[in-house]
């Protein structure tokens, strides 16, 4: 079935017509958490996936003795290949996704005392890079239907010091780019796309990461394109790419500016190695197929889960023409499960052999953020009045609620056969059927 576009009607009929997946027949039995048999005994596909392609690529770099981008060609080749794949004009490979964001903030001139708008439903790196600049992270509440930054809540938070709008394409789903880009243009604020979880996701047929002033990607081990660690930035502007190149290369740009050891800017060493680029080029040979399989499986799982209430998959904005499904995210409603609390549902589902998690805690209320913005350095950058106002603004009730409802499945669970989706749905059904027993247990 891989590679065949899915017709939701057909797949539903297929689902109803065929025998239940292995293990599904056990559904009427006791929940595994209460001592019954598991719906699924075998592990989901392991991640990463690799073979001789990676081995040979790594050995070639090793034997060449050209291990860094200054002496080899793999990093350069990867940048060209990733630009082509995404349709971006320019690409810069970086040490990781965090440094891609950090470089972006620097070349867009985010300084101490500036403000950056970010979502609270994201990985901590999104806020960490803002704090490294001594800028103020201003959190925009989440649209719980999509798990993305709520574009309707951005404008009231913009001040004269707002320097960058930095939405995230969370989970491989796409934020409301049209609305956010319109605000960025109207208010003349640069936009950074944190696309660290959204490799090859699309908005209106064009790859994400190519819409903003920069688009940042991570190739950390858990991500859909993986070299252990690694990152990249996409640009449409050659000059911005040149400044980013210089920043990531200790301030030394490609354009000659005079004598040796003369520098275009301050910077850091945030370069990708030749080894990582070689792995990425090998991993990219599988990317298309993996994306197609994830999308087909995710669509099928969405249709299965929507047959009953209680586990509502994240919606997509109409402009999202491809969801990269780094995560399969859904909202849990205990009402549909006899009042079974979310955390107990997660335990019961894990016990059935379906790994799952409750996802992020609210980032905006993590104590480390307050501790940082009340530190000595920050007090020199922001008035007491601004910090007090930040406290009042820093409420994201929709996000707080979402963090209590979320259920995540990771991307590797979507790259196996379709019958894996049948088992996920079967385990959910089994828990729903026995929810009252689980509540009492
Ligand atoms: C993974 C991730 C990052 C950071 O990437 P690293 O490569 O781990 O530094 C940033 N933002 C988001 C949303 C991420 O998921």
Residue 285's pLDDT is 97
Residue 111 lies in domain: 52-281
Residue 254's pLDDT is 84
Pocket test for ligand 1, best of 130, 198, 220 (most atoms within 8 A of CB): 220
Question: Which residues approach ligand 1 with their CB closer than 6 A?
Answer: 96-98, 122-123, 125-126, 168, 194, 196-197, 218, 220, 231
Considering the domain architecture, whether residues 37 and 145 belong to the same structural domain is answered as no
Pocket test for ligand 1, best of 97, 209, 329 (most atoms within 8 A of CB): 97
The answer to the question of residue 373 being in a domain is no
Distance 342 CA to ligand 1 centre (A): 26
Quote the CA–CA distance of 248 and 271 in Å, as a whole number.
6
**Residue 96: phi, psi to the nearest 5?**
-170, 180
The answer to the question of residue 7 being in a domain is no
Quote the CA–CA distance of 390 and 113 in Å, as a whole number.
13
Considering the domain architecture, whether residues 90 and 148 belong to the same structural domain is answered as yes
pLDDT tens across 145-203, in order? Answer: 999 999 999 999 999 999 999 999 999 999 999 999 999 999 999 999 999 999 999 99
Distance 21 CA to ligand 1 centre (A): 35
Considering the domain architecture, whether residues 304 and 185 belong to the same structural domain is answered as no
CATH of the domain at 349: 3.90.1150.10
Quote the CA–CA distance of 127 and 361 in Å, as a whole number.
14
Residue 11's pLDDT is 42
pLDDT tens across 376-404, in order? Answer: 999 999 999 999 999 999 999 999 999 99
Residue 23's pLDDT is 42
Q: How many domains does the chain have?
A: 2
Considering the domain architecture, whether residues 190 and 212 belong to the same structural domain is answered as yes
Quote the CA–CA distance of 273 and 99 in Å, as a whole number.
14
> Which residue in 115, 163, 159 sits closest to 135, CA to CA?
115
CATH of the domain at 193: 3.40.640.10
Atom of ligand 1 at shortest distance to CA of 99? 9
Distance 306 CA to ligand 1 centre (A): 30
Distance 381 CA to ligand 1 centre (A): 27
The parts of the chain modelled with pLDDT lower than 70 are 1-28
Considering the domain architecture, whether residues 159 and 213 belong to the same structural domain is answered as yes
Contact assessment for residue 61 and residue 72, using Cβ atoms and an 8 Å cutoff:
yes
Pocket test for ligand 1, best of 137, 196, 229, 232 (most atoms within 8 A of CB): 196
Q: Chain-centre distance of CA 235, in angstroms?
A: 19
Considering the domain architecture, whether residues 16 and 75 belong to the same structural domain is answered as no
- With 0-12 / 13-18 / 19 or more C-beta atoms within 10 angstroms meaning exposed / middle / buried, residue 42 is exposed
Structure tokens at 189: 């604020």
The answer to the question of residue 383 being in a domain is no
State which of 250, 281, 312 marks the end of a domain: 281
Considering the domain architecture, whether residues 78 and 63 belong to the same structural domain is answered as yes
Structure tokens at 301: 């799982």
State which of 281, 312, 342 marks the end of a domain: 281
pLDDT tens across 203-212, in order? Answer: 999 999 999 9
Distance 312 CA to ligand 1 centre (A): 26
**Residue 97: phi, psi to the nearest 5?**
-70, -35
Residue 336's pLDDT is 98
Considering the domain architecture, whether residues 130 and 176 belong to the same structural domain is answered as yes
Distance 380 CA to ligand 1 centre (A): 29
Atom of ligand 1 at shortest distance to CA of 170? 13
Residue 97's pLDDT is 98
Considering the domain architecture, whether residues 345 and 214 belong to the same structural domain is answered as no
Secondary element (H or E) of residue 218? strand 214-218
The answer to the question of residue 82 being in a domain is yes
Distance 196 CA to ligand 1 centre (A): 5
Considering the domain architecture, whether residues 80 and 209 belong to the same structural domain is answered as yes
Instruction: Supply the residue whose CA is at minimum distance from atom 2 of ligand 1.
Output: 196
The answer to the question of residue 135 being in a domain is yes
Atom of ligand 1 at shortest distance to CA of 126? 11
The answer to the question of residue 309 being in a domain is yes
Residue 441's pLDDT is 86
Quote the CA–CA distance of 179 and 155 in Å, as a whole number.
11
State which of 281, 311, 336 marks the end of a domain: 281
Distance 336 CA to ligand 1 centre (A): 34
Considering the domain architecture, whether residues 260 and 300 belong to the same structural domain is answered as no
The answer to the question of residue 208 being in a domain is yes
The answer to the question of residue 142 being in a domain is yes
User: Helix/strand/coil (H, E, C) string of 313-353?
Assistant: ECCCCCCEEECCCCEEEEEECHHHHCCCCHHHHHHHHHHCC
Considering the domain architecture, whether residues 87 and 35 belong to the same structural domain is answered as no
Cα angle 435-436-441, degrees, rounded to a multiple of 5: 95
């Amino acid at each position: 079935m891989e590679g065949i576009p899915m017709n939701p009607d057909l797949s539903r009929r297929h689902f109803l017509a065929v025998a239940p997946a292995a293990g599904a027949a056990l559904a009427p039995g006791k929940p595994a958490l209460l001592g019954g048999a598991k719906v699924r005994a075998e592990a989901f596909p392991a991640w990463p996936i690799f073979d001789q392609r990676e081995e040979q690529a790594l050995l070639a770099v090793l034997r060449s003795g050209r291990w860094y981008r200054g002496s080899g060609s793999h990093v350069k080749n990867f940048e060209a290949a990733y630009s082509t794949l995404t349709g971006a004009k320019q690409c810069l490979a970086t040490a990781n996704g965090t440094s891609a964001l950090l470089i972006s903030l620097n070349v867009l001139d985010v300084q101490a005392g500036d403000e950056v708008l970010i979502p609270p439903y994201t990985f901590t790196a999104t806020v960490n890079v803002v704090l490294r600049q001594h800028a103020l992270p201003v959190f925009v509440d989440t649209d719980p239907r999509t798990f993305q930054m709520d574009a309707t809540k951005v404008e009231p938070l913009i001040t004269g010091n707002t320097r960058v709008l930095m939405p995230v394409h969370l989970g491989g789903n796409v934020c409301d780019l049209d609305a956010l880009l319109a605000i960025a243009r109207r208010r003349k604020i640069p936009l950074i796309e944190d696309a660290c979880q959204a490799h090859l996701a699309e908005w209106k047929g064009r790859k994400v990461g190519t819409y903003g002033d920069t688009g940042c990607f991570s190739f950390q081990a858990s991500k859909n394109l993986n070299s252990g660690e690694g990152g990249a930035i996409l640009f449409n502007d050659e000059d911005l790419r040149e400044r980013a190149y210089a920043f990531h290369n200790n301030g030394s740009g490609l354009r000659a500016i005079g004598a040796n050891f003369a520098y275009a800017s301050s910077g850091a060493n945030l370069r990708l190695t030749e080894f990582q680029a070689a792995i990425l080029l090998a991993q990219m040979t599988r990317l298309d197929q993996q994306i197609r399989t994830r999308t087909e499986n995710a669509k099928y799982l969405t249709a299965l889960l929507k047959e009953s209430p209680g586990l509502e998959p994240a919606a997509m904005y109409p402009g999202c023409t491809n969801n990269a499904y780094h995560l399969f995210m859904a909202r849990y409603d205990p009402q549909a499960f006899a009042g079974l609390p979310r955390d107990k549902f997660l335990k019961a589902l894990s016990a059935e052999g379906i790994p799952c998690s409750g996802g992020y805690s609210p980032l905006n209320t993590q104590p480390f953020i307050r501790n940082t913005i009340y530190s000595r350095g920050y007090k020199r950058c922001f008035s007491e009045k601004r910090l007090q106002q930040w406290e009042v603004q820093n409420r994201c009730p929709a996000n707080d609620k979402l963090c209590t409802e979320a259920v995540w499945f990771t991307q590797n669970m979507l790259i196996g056969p379709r019958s894996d989706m049948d088992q996920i749905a079967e385990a959910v059904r089994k828990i729903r059927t026995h929810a009252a027993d689980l509540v009492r247990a």
